[in-house]
């Protein structure tokens, strides 16, 4: 993804600091951080995983092997890039609910392409997003959902192959957003949340200014209800990420991202993006907040946001 601008803290956060609650008994969402960390370790173990690589292929099989018994859909196509043609494959796991509508949680599983020969493994940028979705799948599978359907999407080809631009980036989600527009899925999406770089040991999820304001406010509400608000929204930034193609099509969408990875973001897109920089605790915070957001969405909680 690419950072566009830095902004100041918005009224959104301040006005929600008190946090309306859902009124019910607060129940800690279920999420197994040790298992999520283990998945992250295993994904990193495949080595660098850029599109078109053998390791990428192995990772696709690994993800699917963890989803046995779950309804899976695929969006596979060939992307034309400045480095030639590549197979791209978005993987979608569907957990049906009782209510009409879909909550989408998405994160990319490919790793940076230009760094493919540097030993780059993307522990935070690629592996953590893959792993958190696998653990969310564990929490959702085999349970009757009294709420909206939840679709988990392992997005592909998020990374640029040469240099980030509108044409060289987000290959997977641009294709998926078009597909879902054509088949009518987009209209059924209540909310779409992208998680990216969510395992930094020093976790500071930003307020992303291109995201849908009420959904950002809902993320902050969920974090506040769980006591994690100090890890959220200390700064506001504008980021191009996998949520963008959906924002552009009017889907309520948000990007959960910590784009300050190491002092001055020094570990981001470098071979230093390794397991020692991330933590199970951060996976837990991100994972539980997502579970809480799903619960709030199921109850149709929608914070009012001042402009």
Min separation Cβ 251 and Zn ion, Å: 22
To the nearest 10°, report the CA torsion of 252, 111, 59, 75: 40
Stretch that binds Zn ion, among 119-127, 142-150, 286-294, 296-304 (CB under 5 A): 119-127
For residue 75, give Cα distances in angstroms to 25, 31, 57, 115: 39, 28, 15, 26
8 A C-beta contact, residue 111 and residue 122 = yes
Which residues in 142-201 contact Zn ion (CB under 5 A)? Answer: none
Give the binding-site size for Zn ion (rule: CB under 5 A).
1
Which residues in 264-293 contact Zn ion (CB under 5 A)? Answer: none
Three-state SS at 124: helix
Question: Rounded distance, CA 22 to CA 147, Å?
Answer: 15
Min separation Cβ 268 and Zn ion, Å: 7
Cβ nearer to Zn ion, comparing 195 with 225: 195
Cβ nearer to Zn ion, comparing 125 with 240: 125
Two structure tokens written together for 16:
């929600």
Stretch that binds Zn ion, among 43-51, 82-90, 118-126, 211-219 (CB under 5 A): 118-126
For residue 123, give Cα distances in angstroms to 83, 132, 267: 24, 12, 10
Q: Which of 60, 75, 110, 125 binds Zn ion (CB under 5 A)?
A: 125
Min separation Cβ 263 and Zn ion, Å: 18
Stretch that binds Zn ion, among 12-20, 121-129, 142-150, 176-184 (CB under 5 A): 121-129
Q: Which residue's structure tokens are 């909550």? A: 103
Question: Rounded distance, CA 7 to CA 44, Å?
Answer: 33
Cβ nearer to Zn ion, comparing 125 with 255: 125
Question: Rounded distance, CA 222 to CA 199, Å?
Answer: 18
Stretch that binds Zn ion, among 117-125, 175-183, 238-246, 287-295 (CB under 5 A): 117-125
Binding site for Zn ion (CB under 5 A): 125
């Amino acid at each position: 993804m690419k950072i566009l601008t830095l902004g100041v803290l918005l009224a959104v956060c301040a006005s929600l600091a008190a946090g309306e609650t859902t009124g019910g008994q607060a129940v800690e969402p279920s999420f197994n951080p040790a298992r999520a960390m283990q998945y992250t370790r295993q994904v990193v173990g495949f080595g660098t995983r850029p599109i078109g690589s053998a390791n990428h292929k192995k990772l696709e099989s690994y993800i699917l092997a963890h989803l046995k018994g779950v309804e899976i859909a695929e969006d596979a196509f060939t992307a034309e890039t400045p480095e030639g043609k590549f197979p791209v494959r978005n993987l979608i796991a569907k957990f049906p609910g009782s209510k009409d509508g879909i909550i989408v949680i998405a994160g990319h599983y490919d790793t940076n392409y230009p760094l493919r020969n540097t030993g780059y493994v993307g522990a935070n940028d690629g592996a953590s997003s893959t792993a958190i979705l696998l653990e969310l799948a564990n929490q959702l599978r085999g349970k009757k959902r009294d709420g909206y359907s939840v679709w988990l999407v392992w997005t592909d080809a998020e990374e640029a192959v040469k240099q980030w631009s509108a044409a060289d980036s987000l290959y997977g989600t641009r294709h998926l957003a078009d597909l879902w527009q054509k088949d009518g899925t987009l209209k059924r999406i209540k909310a779409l949340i992208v998680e990216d770089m969510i395992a930094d040991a020093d976790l500071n999820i930003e307020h992303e200014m291109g995201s849908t304001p009420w959904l950002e406010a809902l993320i902050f509400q969920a974090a506040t209800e769980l006591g994690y608000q100090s890890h959220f929204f200390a700064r506001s930034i504008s980021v191009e990420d996998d949520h963008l193609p959906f924002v552009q099509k009017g889907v309520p969408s948000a990007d959960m991202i910590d784009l300050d990875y190491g002092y001055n973001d020094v570990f981001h897109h470098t071979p230093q993006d390794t397991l020692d920089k991330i933590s199970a605790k951060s996976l837990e915070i991100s994972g539980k907040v997502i579970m809480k957001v799903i619960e709030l969405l199921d109850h149709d909680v929608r914070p009012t946001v001042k402009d």
